[in-house]
Structure 1
Amino acid sequence: MANVSSFRRSQGVIFVAFLFTTFIVGIAGALQSPTLSRFLTFEVKADPRLVGLFFSVNALASIIGSFLLAKYSDKKGDRRNIVIFCCLMGVVNSVIFAFSRHYYILITLGVLFAALSSAAMPQVFALAREYAVKTGRNVVAFNSLIRAQLSLAWVIGPPLSFGLAIHYGFTVMYLSAMSMFFVAMLFAAFFLPSVEKNPILQLDNTIDIKSANQRLFKNRNVVYLLLSTVFMWTANMMYIIDMPLYVNSVLHLSDSLPGQLMGLAAGIEIPAMLIAGYLVPVLGKRNLFFIAIICGLLFYVGMILFTDEFALFALQLFNALFIGVVANIGIIYFQDLLPTRMGVASTLFNNGIICSTILAGIIQGFVSESYGHEIIYWIAFAMVAISLLFCALVKDKH
C-alpha cells in the first residue's frame, strides 16, 4: 500500500495525470459540441429558432454554473473534488442526451448538468497552476503542455464525433462521451493532487493582495483583459462560423477546404503553444500577447486581400500563432491578475470565450445575411484592433 501511495504522489505520475485528464475531458467536449446542432435538428426535430435558443440558454447556463463553482472553489472547495464532481455531472448529462429526444428535457435537465460539468476544464487549469507553484515548476511551460492536450483533443474529437454520429448514431456518440467523463473522473480521483489554497501567496511577496482581492469589475486590469479577450475571440469565432460559407458560396473553392484549413491551424497551434510557454521568461507575457494579436491583425488583412487556396493555407500560420499564443498565455495572464482566486481567473477566461461565441453567432448571422460574407473579415479585423488597444491598457506588474 505504501508503494502504491508513493507512486500516486510522484511528480511524474501527477504530471501525466494532468495531461491525460485534460485530454480526456477535452475529447468528451469535442465529441458533444460539433454535432449538437445536427442532433437537435435531425434527432430532436427542433426548428432553427429552438436550436438557436438552446445554444444561447446552454452558453448562459455554462457561464453562470462555472462561475459559481469557481467562487466556491476559491473560498473553500477542494479543486480535485470539484473536478470529480464536474466529470460526474458530465456523465449524467451524456446519459440524458444519449436516451432523451425531448427538447424541453434537454433544455432543462440537460443544460443544468452541462452547466455544472462545464467547470471541469477551468478547475483543472486552476489546480495545475497551484500545483506548479507549490512544486516550483515553470508555471507557463507546465500550462503550455497541459493546454496543448486540449488542442490535441479538438484535432481528434470533431472528426470522431461526426464519424460516430453518422455511422453508429447519436446514442453511441453520447455514450462514448459519457465513458470519457467517467475515465477522467477516475483519473482525477486517483492521481490528481489536492493543493492547499493560494500557495502562490506563500512564494511571492510582491503580490498586491488588496488589488487582487478587490471586486472583479473594479479591477481595471481584469476588466481590460476580459474585454480584450472577448473582442479577439469574437473575431475568431466569427471566422470559424463564416469561413466554410465564405469559401463555398463566395470563393467557390473545394468543399473539403474549410476542414483542411481548420485542421492545419489546429496542428500549428500545438507547437505554437509549447514554444510560447518557453519564450515567456525571455519576452514576457504582455509582449507575447501583443505579438499574437499583431499576428491576428495580419491574418485578417490577408483574409480581406487574398482569395486563392494557397494564400488561405499560408495565412493559417498567422491564425495559429494568434490563437495558439493567446489561448495559452491568456489564462496565465488572468491568473497573474487574480492570484488569490485561481478558479475565478481561469473561469473568467473560459467565460470570455463563451460570451464571444454568443456574440459571434449573432453578428455573423445578421451581417452576412444583410451585407454579405466579405464584410465579416473587416469587422473581425476591427475587433482584433480594439482587442490590441484594451490589451495595451493592462498595466504590466510583472
Structure 2
Amino acid sequence: MTAPALTALRRLPAALPMLIAAFMMGLATSFAAPFMPLFAVETAKMSPLQLGVFLTVTSVGSIALSTLIGRWSDRLPSRRPAVLLSMGSAALGFVMLTTTTAYVPLLLIGALLLGTGASSFPQLFAYARVQFGPAGAEAAQNGLTTLRSVFSLAWVAGPLLGAGLVGALGFRGLFLCAAAAYVGAALPVIFSRGRSRAALTAAAVASNLTETPAPVGPRQLQLISLGFVLYGTSLAMGAVALPLFITQELGGNTGQVGLLVGLCALLEIPIMLSFVLRPPRFRTATLMVVAFGLLAAYSLLTGLGGLVGGAWLALMLVAQAIRAIVVAIASCLGMAYFQELMPGRVGAATTLFANTGSAGNLVAGLLSGAWAQAFGYGSVFGLCGVLAAVACGLMVVSRRKGGRRELAA
C-alpha cells in the first residue's frame, strides 16, 4: 500500500515545489544554526549566560509569534501568506544580523524577526499537508515524512558549507547566504498552485492518519508531555554546547563542527525513509523509550570527549550516529504519537507536540548558558544525559500507568 501512495504523491503538481521549499529551508537553517552560538560568543562577545538569555528570548518570541501566526493562518483562505511572512521575516532577520553586534539589538532581532521566522517550518508543513490532501491519507502522511527527510538531506552538506562560508566570508557572508536560502525557499511557495479554503477542511480530515486507540488518562498524557519537554531540553542544550565545546575546550575548528552535524543529518535520512517504506515493527511508545535512552547514551559519549585526548573526534563520530537514530525516531514519529494519544483531536495533539519542543528550547536557553558559565561546556552534556534519562523513565512510568488503565477498563 505504501508504494501506490507514494506514486500518487509523486503525481501531484504541488509535490515538487514543496520538496524544493523544504530543501532550501533546510539549507538556510543548516547554514546558520550550528554556528549561531559561535557568532554570539566570538563575534558579539556574549558570555555563556548572555548567550543563554539570547536563545531564551528568541524561543519566547518563537512561541508567542508562532502561536499568533498559527491562529491567523487558520482563518485565511490559504496558509501561503503565513508561510511567506515567516520565511520573509527569517530572511530579514539574518540580513539584520550582519548590521550589528550590540546585545540589545540582537535580542530584538532574535525575538521579533527570528522568532517569527521560526514558524516557517510548521507553516510550510501545514501548507504542504493541504496540498497533499488529494493524494489520500497514506500518501499525505508519507509525503510529510519525505519532506522531513529532504529537510535533513540539506543538513548533510549545509553545516560543511556553512563552515566554509565562515572561513571564506565570515559570519556576515554566512548570514547573507542563509537569508538568500530562505528567499529560495519562498519562491516555490509563491509560484505553487495553492488549494482553496474549501479544500482545507477535507485535508484536515485526511490529516488524521492514525488508528484510534483507547484514550489515555490526563495523568499519563502529562507524564508523556513532560518527558518530551525534557527530551527537547536535552537535545537543544547539546546542540548549543557542541560547537563551543569543540572549538573552545577540545581545540577543534568549525570544519569539524560541520562534519559532525552533517554526518548526523546524513544518517537520519535512511532511518526516516525506512518509516515510509516499511512501517516500524514495534509500538511507537516503545520506540520513544528507546530514543530517549539513546539520547542519554549520546550525551554521555559526547561529554567524555574531553577525557580521551586526540581520540575525541572518533568518539564523537560514533556519538553522532546514535544521535541520528534519536532524532529520526522522535521527529518522524513524535507528532503521530501524540495524535494516537489524543484521537479525534489532531489539531490539539499537533499543537501539544510542537509546544513540548518549544518549551524544551526555552528551558535549554537559560539552563545551558548558566550551567556552562559555572562548569564549562563539556559538563553540559552530563546534565543533558540526566535529563534524557529522566525523560526515558517518565515514558516507562507512563506506559505502566497506561497498562493498568487498560486492565481496569
TM-score (norm 1): 0.77
Q: Structure 1 CA distance, aligned partners of 2:171 and 2:376?
A: 34
Is the CA contact 1:91–1:182 (under 8 Å) kept in the aligned structure 2? yes
Q: Which moved more, 1:264-273 or 1:312-321?
A: 312-321
Q: Which moved more, 1:369-378 or 1:323-332?
A: 369-378
Residue number in structure 1 paired with 2:28: 28
How far did residue 78 of structure 1 move?
2.4
SS of the residue 2:128 aligns to: helix
How far did residue 43 of structure 1 move?
5.4
SS of the residue 2:279 aligns to: helix
Residue number in structure 2 paired with 1:329: 333
Distance 1:167 1:192, change over 3 A: farther
Is the CA contact 1:67–1:347 (under 8 Å) kept in the aligned structure 2? no
Q: Structure 2 CA distance, aligned partners of 1:360 and 1:240?
A: 10
How far did residue 244 of structure 1 move?
5.6
Distance 1:107 1:240, change over 3 A: closer
Counterpart code for 2:181: M
Residue number in structure 2 paired with 1:273: 272
Q: Structure 1 CA distance, aligned partners of 2:218 and 2:78?
A: 26
Distance 1:159 1:82, change over 3 A: same
Residue number in structure 2 paired with 1:78: 78
- After superposition, the C-alpha distances for 1:70-112 in whole angstroms (9 at most, x for unaligned) are 2333455622331122122223323333445554444335631
Counterpart code for 1:360: A
Counterpart code for 1:287: T
How far did residue 207 of structure 1 move?
8.3
Q: Structure 1 CA distance, aligned partners of 2:129 and 2:102?
A: 40
Distance 1:65 1:55, change over 3 A: same
Q: Which moved more, 1:235-244 or 1:196-205?
A: 196-205
Distance 1:304 1:164, change over 3 A: closer
Residue number in structure 2 paired with 1:318: 322
Q: Structure 1 CA distance, aligned partners of 2:18 and 2:221?
A: 27
How far did residue 324 of structure 1 move?
1.6
Residue number in structure 2 paired with 1:186: 187
Q: Structure 2 CA distance, aligned partners of 1:265 and 1:125?
A: 22
Counterpart code for 2:238: Y
Is the CA contact 2:34–2:258 (under 8 Å) kept in the aligned structure 1? no
Is the CA contact 2:38–2:244 (under 8 Å) kept in the aligned structure 1? no
Task: Output aligned runs, 1:114-133, within 5 Å.
Answer: 114-133=114-133
Task: Output aligned runs, 1:1-398, within 5 Å.
Answer: 11-40=11-40, 50-76=50-76, 78-100=78-100, 103-108=103-108, 111-136=111-136, 137-191=138-192, 193-194=194-195, 195-197=199-201, 199-201=203-205, 223-243=222-242, 259-280=258-279, 282-300=281-299, 307=308, 309=312, 310-336=314-340, 345-346=349-350, 348-367=352-371, 370=374, 376-392=380-396, 393=398
SS of the residue 2:14 aligns to: helix
Q: Structure 2 CA distance, aligned partners of 1:143 and 1:133?
A: 11
How far did residue 151 of structure 1 move?
1.7
Residue number in structure 1 paired with 2:406: none
How far did residue 292 of structure 1 move?
2.6
Q: Structure 2 CA distance, aligned partners of 1:226 and 1:364?
A: 21
Is the CA contact 1:86–1:116 (under 8 Å) kept in the aligned structure 2? yes
How far did residue 61 of structure 1 move?
0.4
- After superposition, the C-alpha distances for 1:288-328 in whole angstroms (9 at most, x for unaligned) are 32333343344456557895555543343332211221121
Q: Structure 1 CA distance, aligned partners of 2:164 and 2:20?
A: 23
Q: Structure 2 CA distance, aligned partners of 1:47 and 1:297?
A: 27
Q: Structure 2 CA distance, aligned partners of 1:341 and 1:73?
A: 18
Is the CA contact 1:24–1:183 (under 8 Å) kept in the aligned structure 2? yes
Structure 1 gaps of 5+ residues are: 1-8, 213-217
Distance 1:248 1:83, change over 3 A: closer
Q: Structure 2 CA distance, aligned partners of 1:294 and 1:202?
A: 33
Counterpart code for 1:359: V
Distance 1:46 1:96, change over 3 A: same
Q: Which moved more, 1:365-374 or 1:147-156?
A: 365-374
Counterpart code for 2:176: L
CA RMSD of aligned residues (A): 4.1
Counterpart code for 1:296: L
- After superposition, the C-alpha distances for 1:219-258 in whole angstroms (9 at most, x for unaligned) are 66654443222212222233334456666888x6866765
For this pair of structures, how many residues does the alignment match?
382
> Percent of aligned pairs with the same residue?
24
Counterpart code for 1:31: F
Q: Structure 1 CA distance, aligned partners of 2:57 and 2:38?
A: 17
Is the CA contact 2:14–2:131 (under 8 Å) kept in the aligned structure 1? no
Counterpart code for 1:290: V
Structure 2 gaps of 5+ residues are: 1-8, 404-409
SS of the residue 1:197 aligns to: helix
Distance 1:164 1:68, change over 3 A: same
Q: Structure 2 CA distance, aligned partners of 1:248 and 1:10?
A: 43
Q: Structure 2 CA distance, aligned partners of 1:368 and 1:110?
A: 21
Counterpart code for 1:320: A
Is the CA contact 1:81–1:189 (under 8 Å) kept in the aligned structure 2? no
Counterpart code for 2:291: A
Q: Structure 2 CA distance, aligned partners of 1:289 and 1:203?
A: 22
